[in-house]
Amino acid sequence: DIQMTQSPASLSASLEEIVTITCQASQNIGNWLAWYQQKPGKSPQLLIYGTTSLADGVPSRFSGSRSGTQYSLKISRLQVEDIGIYYCQQASSTPPTFGAGTKLELK
């Protein structure tokens, strides 16, 4: 199975701050990478797919990028509604595997 190593495990940031979360794939997955946001007490929601494409309704302050097998999610100006847990997921092969998650809190 492809392992997804996500960091950091938790992150505390201020409003309007730039936030970056990374995921390292254990092997080449091309651009088959998604990010999900899970707000407290809610189900996950697709945020980004294909490494860089925003899902419907996702604000433009979210962006995704890739360098080799390292993938990044960036929030350009943190808002209150962005608080939650973020997961990466490789969609290159079965089984689909998720990172362990990054808990994003307000400082």
Partner 1 sequence: EVQLVESGGGLVQPGRSLKLSCAASGFTFSDYNMAWVRQAPKKGLEWVATISYDGSSTYYRDSVKGRFTISRDNAKSTLYLQMDSLRSEDTATYYCARHWGTYLDYWGQGVMVTVSS
Binding interface with partner 1 (CB under 8 A): 32, 34, 36, 42-46, 49, 55, 87, 89, 91-92, 94-101
Query: Looking up tokens 């419907």, which residue turns up?
Result: 56
> Residue 103 CB, nearest distance to partner 1 (Å)?
10
Q: Which residues contact 60 (CB under 8 A, 6 or more apart)?
A: 54
CB atoms within 10 A of CB 16: 9
User: Between 17 and 32, whose beta carbon lies closer to partner 1?
Assistant: 32
C-alpha span between 13 and 69 (Å, rounded): 26
> Residue 16 CB, nearest distance to partner 1 (Å)?
28
On whether the CB atoms of residues 63 and 52 are closer than 8 A, the answer is yes
User: Between 69 and 101, whose beta carbon lies closer to partner 1?
Assistant: 101
User: Between 24 and 92, whose beta carbon lies closer to partner 1?
Assistant: 92
> Residue 89 CB, nearest distance to partner 1 (Å)?
8
